[in-house]
Amino acid sequence: MHTENLETLRKEAFRLIQLEANLLNEIKAVPGLLGNSQAESSDSNVTIREQSFTENVLTRSLEVLSGERNKLEEMDMVIAVVGTMKAGKSTTINAIVGAEVLPNRNGAMTSIPTLIRHVAGKKTPEIIFTNNEPLNALCKKLKKAMSKEPEKTEAAREKSPDIANVIEFVQSGEAIQSRYTGQPGIFKLLKEVNDIVRLCSSLSVAFPFSDYDEIHELPVIEVEFSALIGQEKALGNLTLLDTPGPNEAGQHHLKEMLRDQLRKASAVIAVLNYTQLNSDSDEELRNEISDIASFAEGRLYAFVNRIDERGPNDPDISTIIQIVSKLLPESLPQDRIYPVSAQKAFLGEVVQKFIQEEGQLPNPQAHPWFVKFAEGFYGSRWERALPNAEQVMKDAREYWEESHFSDPLERVIHAAHENAAYYALDSTASKLVEYSERISDFVEIRSTALKKSADELRSYIETLKNDKNDINQLREKYSDKTDTLIKKLRKEIRQEIRKTIKAANKTVDTLFSEGVTRQVKEEQEVKGLSAKQRTDSADRIQNSSFSERAKKTFFDSIVPKPNRKSPRDEKVLDIEKRDLEFTDRSEAVEFISNIEKALRPETRTLNKALGNAFQRSVNVFQEDIRNEVVKSAEESLNMLRNRFQKEGFSLHFSMPSEVQGVNLRFSSLSMRKSISNETKKVRRLKEQDGWLGSTKRLIGKLFDSDMGYDEVQKEIQVFRLSLDSLKTNTQEVIEEQGKRWSDEIKNEVEKPIEDTLELFFDQLQGSVEAVREDLLQSIRDKEKSKSEQDALLKGLKRLAKHTPTITQDSKDLKSDAQSEVSERMK
Amino acid sequence: MSDVSIKDALDYFPPLKDKFALSLVSQLGAAKEQARVQTENQGFVKEMFAHLTGSARRRQDDINTKVVNVLEQTLEQVTELIEHVTFTNRTLGLMLDELQNLQGHVEVIANKVVGIEERLIELDLQMRSRLAKQQEQLDEVDFRAQALIQVDRVINAWDVRPKSDLPVMIRAYSILEELWAGPFGYYVHQHKGRDSEAFLEDLRNRLKKVFEQELQIKSMVRVTRDRWFSESVLILQKSDVLRDAFMYMSDWTDTESAPFVSYLRGESGELVDLVVPHVMDAQRMSEALLDEVIVVRRGDL
């Protein structure tokens, strides 16, 4: 029913676009109806600025309508795919496409997002990168930087063979082309772009992210998607957006663009890794999904990938869905969570496609994916078990079915199509309503004004000044109100930050003192043990098994025991000192990461409190201020309308758009800069040589003294953590988070509200201004001959005939589209 | 529905006979027009003529006699129908107008029909006399009340046979034609103003309600163009008599002034396709039909 409904509404939109375009063209054809911009009236007191319709406005309006028609015809829909590299995002995309268009490699591959577009009939994939110039300019810059800093270049070269290759590429002076055909070309370009980003980081050269922060600036892979072969064109143009997600490290430059794209996307697929559902990295992704869910409401789908790696004792599929559902935001219902195996789907699809197109089995040497399929389906001795092409085709089909990919793919594409269509319809209907009301007002003013005297018209124009003043006053009033709202929100944030810092410091105090106590205790224990025992103890700590560690208490787990590699060579006896010292950086990092973990409840509380404050403010704007603004403006306009109604004019005025609110979350805490790296002089005991030394040590052991040792001073590297630095760092980190919230408030609340109000009042003032200008033009109409006026009136009557029904039908279309959009948001 | 008789057609479209009487009178004005109607609408018009007059089929070549008979028959019908206030008020006036028109063209007819001039004068006198007599009666009638009664009667007959046999669009068209031809049409035509607008508004609302009941849709729920029209279009394709009756009844339409009725007539040209929405609610449909069948015809749009 929905599809049928959708097609009917689309046809209706096309009909209305055509009718409005006809009306606009008819306006052009009515003699004397269009005024010129900036035309002078013979009335010396008035200058005509911009009327409702001039040649330029008509041309622009016709272009807009034509654009709306194209949007509806083309039905561009974007499905954003979000996930970490380990989750199998690339494989998921390859499975949807039915071809290996994105490489699977261990490193991150999405430094800049890539689009993958379905082009019917395009069997060989091609990457189109028209915006290659900024990258080529960057390569030249990198080449210069490399020649200036050969040492840094060498260090980078040694980091990885990939970087070494890209260095060669940059040094060769070869340019990145705007088009590469076939899989090797695509892989080459994507790899080069990603490695260049990494090289930039190594050489401290800024990557021109701002040149890649618009969707049309990104590389596009064009290829026929297997899933869409044979589908009707009416299904629309499907494009996948390969994105790492808005919060992934290194993507801050692109965050705004990605968020914007996720907001606009017809559907968003978040790829989770089944085998890592409880891991820290997946927790980050889950947080990110919560973010995404807030601005892709009703359009988010979760693919729980690698379900084929489920063990025999693992829960069944429906239980997995329930478990995942609890981990994900409430706004993501269970019927949008799909356990899948992207790998099976991809392999099953690609093998079938190959056999179908080539009529034979793929060559395992040339197509490694065939080996993967064969190993997966027939086992390690697949070469012996491999049947003929016909049977392999059937097996590949079975493999595909086992992937559980078919249903979600169909549902997501179908939903994306409907979402895209209804959003496009909503946008088109808004334009249609706006234009039809404008045409209607224009025709109404000009035809009614013809029956009035010039003096009457002048008096109406005079009264409009008051309306403009009223609107200005409203603008100022609500600008002040929103300022107050934002200030209040910022104050709340500051208070919450202070509260959190206090709570976090308390946690840090506790953990730090636990750490110090433990370290001192360790030292005391070390001191109390014989050298042999000390060594054993250290070894025991080093070699404790996982199960033994698991039995440790919470604090045991978050405060690792200092690793003394050579305890008998070093004595740290200052019990009162408040710093924690680690001889190994990884220990310090582990300690910090445990503190970070322990601080998570505080940051979560903060996050929740700030999220609530944020949402409260957005709600106050959306539900109170916005309604108040609309109501006040409506009252002013009603007065204007009624005044004009009494004089025989029947006018419309439309209200402006809405503000989007989003929920925000912190990215993970990072307090590693609390670790100071320094050298310190330590007293070490060196065994005295010879039998005398041995004897002394034996006696010393009996009396617990350092007899038989020489004291030497030695400089060693230590990794120090002081409570002060930890607290300072905690505060900085939380304040930094506060700053990020503050930035988000600026971008997500303050600016949209300001823009919305600005647009609202500009439109309002524009409408009043247009009425004024139309009346001024009407004064010129009065200067025309009787026959000219008659011709004008006749033309206006013709125009007036269809405008009411077009306006009504456009409003009805908008209402239908909006209710479908809201239905999808539920 | 395929075995619709002329009697059924006249039941479905009561104003058919008014239209027929009027067109007969107007046909007298031009022999060409008569010939056209007789050839183009031959079957249905002849049968209706035969049904109305009760006479057997006339010889094709006896035009003079036929015309005279038509005049006589029309006069008989008018005489018979004149007793109904709702009919004569509009139809008589219009027929007399036509008859007066004829006086100017009498030479054309006189060449064909011997003694027609005298017969026409006689007819004119008879009609004037009848109209004057009727007018006296009409003056005493409260047109407003008659109009209200007619709306009630017509709307109440919506789901009663024979009207209830018809699919929604043909039925709606039929009742609007009936109203237009009756006291309601006369009232809203002759007494334009607030009261008349209120009548039309009330009719729109009542029509909207019967549409909603008929299609079982809630207020403001839009349904597809097909759901509104397809059953009617299909029945018109299946039943020749019904189609002829409907086409004859609605031959006043043109695609620009009556796109909805034109769509029902199967004239789905570019203009019609553009003006008739692909999806609409009962309100929109009742407004469109009422505008086409009544408001446009009274010269408002």
B120-173 pLDDT per residue, tens:
676 677 667 766 766 666 555 677 888 888 899 999 989 888 888 899 999 999
Tell me which chain A residue has its CA closest to the CA of residue B220: A812
Across the interface, whether the CB atoms of A809 and B284 are under 8 A apart is answered yes
Q: Measure B228 CA to nearest chain A CA, in Å.
A: 13
Query: Could you say which of B279, B281, B288 has the minimum Cβ distance to residue A12?
Result: B279
Strand partners, A241: A80, A115
Q: How many CA atoms lie within 13 A of A299 on its CB side?
A: 31
The beta-strand segments (E) located in A574-702 are 580-582, 676-687
Chain B residue numbers with beta carbons less than 8 Å from the beta carbon of A809 are: 277, 280, 284
Across the interface, whether the CB atoms of B281 and A812 are under 8 A apart is answered yes
**Cβ atoms of A570 and A684 closer than 8 Å:** yes
Alpha helices by DSSP H, listed for A217-265, are: 255-264
- Whole-angstrom CA distances from A420 to A76, A96, A216, A392, A423 are 7, 18, 18, 38, 5
Question: Residue B225 — pLDDT band, cuts 50, 70, 90?
Answer: very high
Chain B residue numbers with beta carbons less than 8 Å from the beta carbon of A801 are: 301
Q: What pLDDT, on a 0 to 100 scale, did the predictor assign at position B73? A: 57
Q: In the sheet that A114-118 helps form, which strands lie side by side, from edge to edge? A: A179-181, A126-128, A220-223, A114-118, A237-243, A76-83, A267-273, A300-305, A337-339
Query: Could you say which of A8, A22, A805 has the minimum Cβ distance to residue B278?
Result: A8
Question: Does any CB of chain A come closer than 8 Å to the CB of residue B284?
Answer: yes
Q: Measure A814 CA to nearest chain B CA, in Å.
A: 12
Question: Does any CB of chain A come closer than 8 Å to the CB of residue B221?
Answer: no
Q: What pLDDT, on a 0 to 100 scale, did the predictor assign at position A550? A: 33
Q: What pLDDT, on a 0 to 100 scale, did the predictor assign at position B275? A: 92
Chain B residue numbers with beta carbons less than 8 Å from the beta carbon of A9 are: 278-279
DSSP states along A14-78: HHHHHHHHHHHHHHHHSTTTPPPTTPBPSSTT-B----S--HHHHHHHHHHHHHHHHHHHH-EEE
Question: Does any CB of chain A come closer than 8 Å to the CB of residue B145?
Answer: no
Tell me A568's DSSP state.
G
Tell me which chain B residue has its CA closest to the CA of residue A18: B274
- Burial class from Cβ neighbours inside 10 Å (0-12, 13-18, 19+) for residue A406 reads middle
Query: Could you give the 3-state DSSP secondary structure of residue A529?
Result: coil
**Residue B257 pLDDT exceeds 80:** yes
The enclosing H or E element of A719 equals strand A709-721
Across the interface, whether the CB atoms of A15 and B281 are under 8 A apart is answered no
Q: What pLDDT, on a 0 to 100 scale, did the predictor assign at position A557? A: 40
The CA distance from B46 to B29, in Å, is 19
Mutate to test the interface with A, among B218, B268, B278 (most CBs of A within 10 A): B278
Q: Measure B257 CA to nearest chain A CA, in Å.
A: 10
Tell me which chain A residue has its CA closest to the CA of residue B273: A15
Query: Could you say which of A18, A812, A813 has the minimum Cβ distance to residue B274?
Result: A18
Looking up tokens 């022999």, which residue turns up? B31
Task: Identify which of B81, B82, B94, B103 has the alpha carbon closest to the alpha carbon of residue B28.
Answer: B103
The enclosing H or E element of B31 equals helix B31-40
Angle between the N-to-C axes of helices A161-172 and A150-159, in degrees from 0 to 180, rounded to the nearest 10: 140
Query: Could you say which of A4, A801, A809 has the minimum Cβ distance to residue B277?
Result: A809
Q: What pLDDT, on a 0 to 100 scale, did the predictor assign at position A663? A: 37
Tell me A576's DSSP state.
T
The CA distance from A292 to B128, in Å, is 84
Query: Could you give the 3-state DSSP secondary structure of residue A708?
Result: coil
Chain A residue numbers with beta carbons less than 8 Å from the beta carbon of B271 are: none
The CA distance from A241 to A244, in Å, is 10
Question: Does any CB of chain A come closer than 8 Å to the CB of residue B160?
Answer: no
Q: What would the two tokens of residue A89 be?
A: 């995002």
Q: What would the two tokens of residue A418 be?
A: 């409907």
Mutate to test the interface with A, among B208, B221, B222, B283 (most CBs of A within 10 A): B222
Q: What pLDDT, on a 0 to 100 scale, did the predictor assign at position B8? A: 82
Q: What would the two tokens of residue B149 be?
A: 């009664």
Q: Compute mean pLDDT per 10 residues along chain A, 826 residues long, and list them.
A: 74 94 90 64 46 82 88 82 79 90 65 85 91 92 89 84 88 91 90 86 83 82 84 70 61 65 81 78 68 73 89 85 80 85 93 90 90 91 87 93 88 80 86 89 87 86 85 86 83 82 82 77 63 44 36 39 42 52 76 76 74 74 74 77 74 48 41 61 71 79 74 72 77 76 74 78 81 86 84 88 91 88 68
Chain B residue numbers with beta carbons less than 8 Å from the beta carbon of A3 are: none
Tell me A570's DSSP state.
B
The CA distance from B276 to B271, in Å, is 9
Chain A residue numbers with beta carbons less than 8 Å from the beta carbon of B281 are: 812
Question: A394-398, B9-13, B18-22: lowest mean pLDDT where?
Answer: B18-22
0.90 cut: is pTM over it? no
DSSP states along A478-500: HHHHHHHHHHHHHHHHHHHHHHH
**Residue B103 pLDDT exceeds 60:** no
The CA distance from A518 to A535, in Å, is 18
Question: Does any CB of chain A come closer than 8 Å to the CB of residue B281?
Answer: yes
Q: What pLDDT, on a 0 to 100 scale, did the predictor assign at position A348? A: 94
Across the interface, whether the CB atoms of A8 and B224 are under 8 A apart is answered yes
Task: Identify which of A329, A345, A325 has the alpha carbon closest to the alpha carbon of residue A409.
Answer: A345
Chain B residue numbers with beta carbons less than 8 Å from the beta carbon of A802 are: 275
Q: Measure B166 CA to nearest chain A CA, in Å.
A: 26
Q: Measure B285 CA to nearest chain A CA, in Å.
A: 11
Task: Identify which of A260, A408, A271, A406 has the alpha carbon closest to the alpha carbon of residue A328.
Answer: A271
Across the interface, whether the CB atoms of A8 and B284 are under 8 A apart is answered no
Instruction: At B277, give phi and psi (nearest 5°).
Output: -60, 155
**Cβ atoms of A91 and A104 closer than 8 Å:** yes
Across the interface, whether the CB atoms of A18 and B222 are under 8 A apart is answered no
3-state helix, strand, coil in chain B (%, to 5): 75, 0, 25
Tell me B58's DSSP state.
P
Across the interface, whether the CB atoms of A809 and B274 are under 8 A apart is answered no
Q: Measure A8 CA to nearest chain B CA, in Å.
A: 6
The CA distance from A42 to A51, in Å, is 16
Q: Is beta strand B223-224 parallel, antiparallel or unpaired with respect to B279-280?
A: antiparallel
Q: What pLDDT, on a 0 to 100 scale, did the predictor assign at position A576? A: 45
Average pLDDT of the residues in B232-246: 89
Chain A residues within 8 angstroms (CB to CB) of chain B: 4, 8-9, 11-12, 15, 18-19, 22, 801-802, 805, 808-809, 812-813, 816
**Cβ atoms of B200 and B295 closer than 8 Å:** yes
Assembly ipTM: 0.73
Tell me A253's DSSP state.
G
Tell me which chain B residue has its CA closest to the CA of residue A803: B275
**Cβ atoms of A380 and A318 closer than 8 Å:** no
Q: Measure B102 CA to nearest chain A CA, in Å.
A: 33
Which amino acid is present at A342?
A
- Burial class from Cβ neighbours inside 10 Å (0-12, 13-18, 19+) for residue A44 reads exposed
Across the interface, whether the CB atoms of B279 and A8 are under 8 A apart is answered yes
Query: Could you give the 3-state DSSP secondary structure of residue B234?
Result: helix
**Cβ atoms of A219 and A115 closer than 8 Å:** yes
Residues 6+ apart with CB under 8 A from B276: B225, B259, B260, B263, B288
Give just the sign of the alpha carbon dihedral A771, A776, A779, A784: negative
Query: Could you say which of B278, B281, B288 has the minimum Cβ distance to residue A15?
Result: B278
**Cβ atoms of B151 and B203 closer than 8 Å:** yes
Across the interface, whether the CB atoms of A19 and B274 are under 8 A apart is answered yes
The CA distance from B44 to B241, in Å, is 7
Tell me which chain A residue has its CA closest to the CA of residue B300: A801
Residues 6+ apart with CB under 8 A from A670: A596, A733
Q: What would the two tokens of residue A222 be?
A: 């064009």
Three-state secondary structure readout of A338-405 = EECCHHHHHHHHHHHHHHHHHCCCCCCCCCHHHHHHHHHHHCCCHHHHCCCHHHHHHHHHHHHHHCCC
Q: What pLDDT, on a 0 to 100 scale, did the predictor assign at position B298? A: 81
Task: Identify which of B75, B68, B13 has the alpha carbon closest to the alpha carbon of residue B44.
Answer: B13
Query: Could you say which of A12, A801, A805 has the minimum Cβ distance to residue B278?
Result: A12
The CA distance from A773 to A364, in Å, is 75
pLDDT in tens, A575-622: 345 677 777 777 777 777 777 777 777 777 777 777 777 777 777 776
Mutate to test the interface with B, among A5, A798, A806, A809 (most CBs of B within 10 A): A809
Q: Measure B277 CA to nearest chain A CA, in Å.
A: 6
Instruction: At B167, give phi and psi (nearest 5°).
Output: -70, 165
The CA distance from A91 to A93, in Å, is 5
Which amino acid is present at A374?
A
ω into A134 cis (within 30 of 0): no
- Burial class from Cβ neighbours inside 10 Å (0-12, 13-18, 19+) for residue A454 reads middle
